[in-house]
Chains A and B, each alone.
Chain A
Amino acid sequence: MSEMKLYEVFIRAKSGLNHRHVGSLHASDAEMALMNARDVYTRRKEGVSIWVVESCHITASNPEHEHEWFDPAEDKVYRHPTFYPLDKEVENM
């Protein structure tokens, strides 16, 4: 049998939350992937919404280049509120 396509499954646990990656599964097309995802990943009402994405459509950053890739953010401490000391009287800002 030729392999069915691989899909990544994302589930929104309840309205207002992000869809979150939960795992993957095989299916012949997206519609079937969605049905399989419902049966495999939400048997106990774990979600209110499902996304499926064919795995080959995901482009991922390379973990081996983690450091160089994310280093533009490393020296920008001034993006964090804690960079700005406040006087006691107004410290709840």
Chain B
Amino acid sequence: MYSQGLTDAKGGDEPAELLAEFQAKIDREEKIEPRDWMPEAYRKTLIRQMSQHAHSEIVGQLPEGNWVTRAPSLKRKMILLAKIQDEAGHGLYIYSATETLGVTRDQLNDELLTGKAKYSSIFNYPTLSWADIGAVGWLVDGAAIMNQVPLCRTSYGPYSRSMIRICKEESFHQRQGYEIMTVLARGSKEQKDMAQRALNRFWWPSLMMFGPSDKDSKHSEQSMKWKIKRFTNDELRQKFIDATVPQAEHLGLTVPDPELKWNEQTGHYDHGEIDWNEFVNVIKGNGPCNKERMQARIKAHEEGAWVREAAQQYHANKKSEAA
């Protein structure tokens, strides 16, 4: 999902009693807090997952920022700005929670800007039309919610609490996107076509947000045992498909998957195979917008340097005045 580029974290030699006690605590559904003992691999896995999640919130502002100046009305513009502002907040909540594991914000920032850290593949796709903003809210935030709701119960206390806060804010994101799609789907033929093309563009990349298929995802098992994750990638993806297909049908839009069909027996939709080559390629940095996104982040960071310096200087001046 927002941490789909996750790789395994290796643990050290840790006393078996401590490990057993730790697992028992997790099995009792007790939260792990920053100062509690935890296995090194648990800490590392969390740092990686949470920082990838935070980076995704931050980079996720960029595709939507593309439409702020061209939103079709003042109302839409205000809504879009509010949503983007929320995403910045989400990034900050999760960065703060990650710092409780013993990394600094500067380290995390550095990892993003030097390309060492990953963020969700979805944000490397362009937003070509206004309907894409609708599709992003509906599908991308929809997929994010599917992932984030179970994360509210994740075993690490600060992560869980930031997820609860985020989930409260998230539902307007999906609704405003679906509303954009609704208006377009019920508009002129051109508008409906535009909505359909946006769905065509964003459907498969949205499914990829849930990360590799369970059979190729090694770290899943340990994360499930530690209750960092509550559902596997494929389980969440299936939930998303089951919830979203009827929403598309309701608007008279067609999900771009010829193999998609309702399966009476399983009570789920069967779907076509995801193009995993495309997924791996985007994760590796070769998606349509990877370079552009990174450049925009670096530019924003550099051009914002004077603000941080001014704040520090202001504080220094006030201190010397007081002395």
Asked whether A27 and B311 contact (CB < 8 A) given A1-B106, A43-B89, A60-B35, the answer is yes
For A43, the chain B residues whose CB sits under 8 A away are: 82, 85-86, 89, 169
Binding site secondary structure of chain B:
helix
Tell me the count of chain A residues lying within 8 A, CB to CB, of chain B. 22
Residues of A within 8 A of B171 (CB): none
**Does any Cβ of A come within 8 Å of B259's Cβ?**
no
B278 part of interface (Cβ distance < 8 Å)? no
B312 and A63 contacting across the interface, CB-CB below 8 Å: no
User: CB distance B97 to A4 under 8 Å?
Assistant: no
Q: Which residue of A lies closest to B169 (CB)?
A: A44
Complex CA gap A22/B97 in Å reads 10
Determine if B33 is an interface residue (Cβ-Cβ < 8 Å): yes
Q: Which residue from chain B places its CB closest to the CB of A60 in the assembled complex? A: B35
CB neighbours of B308 from chain A (8 A): 1, 4, 28
A31 CB, min distance to chain B CBs, angstroms: 9
Alpha-carbon distance A43/B168, docked complex (angstroms): 12
| Nearest CB of chain A from residue B323's CB, rounded to whole Å | 15
Chain A 3-44 interface 0/1 with B at a Cβ cutoff of 8 Å (1 = within): 110100000000000000011111111001000000011011
Asked if B93 CB lies within 8 Å of chain A CBs, one says yes
Q: Which residues of A contact B314 (CB under 8 A)?
A: 28-29
Instruction: Assess the B104–A3 pair: CB atoms within 8 A.
Output: yes
Q: Are A62 and B97 in contact (CB under 8 A)?
A: no
A3 adjacent to B105 (CB under 8 Å): yes
Q: How far is the CB of A82 from chain B (nearest CB, A)?
A: 25
- Distance to closest chain B CB from A72 (angstroms): 21
In the complex, which residue of chain B has the Cβ closest to the Cβ of A22?
Answer: B165
Q: Is B37 an interface residue (CB 8 A)?
A: yes
B105 to chain A, nearest CB (A): 6
Residues on A with beta carbons closer than 8 Å to the beta carbon of B162: 23
Are B105 and A2 in contact, CB atoms less than 8 angstroms apart?
no
Q: Considering the complex of A and B, which 5 residue pairs feature the smallest CB-CB distances, nearest first?
A: A28-B311, A28-B315, A29-B315, A24-B96, A23-B96
Q: Could you list which residues of chain B lie within 8 angstroms of chain A, going by C-beta atoms?
A: 33, 35-37, 82, 85-86, 89, 92-93, 96-97, 99-100, 104-106, 158, 161-162, 165, 169, 305, 308-309, 311-312, 314-315, 318
- A/B interface sample: 12 pairs, CB < 8 A: A1-B309, A22-B165, A23-B161, A23-B162, A24-B99, A26-B105, A28-B312, A29-B311, A32-B311, A43-B169, A64-B36, A64-B37
**Which A residues lie at the B interface, using CB under 8 A?**
1-4, 6, 22-29, 32, 40-41, 43-44, 60, 62-64
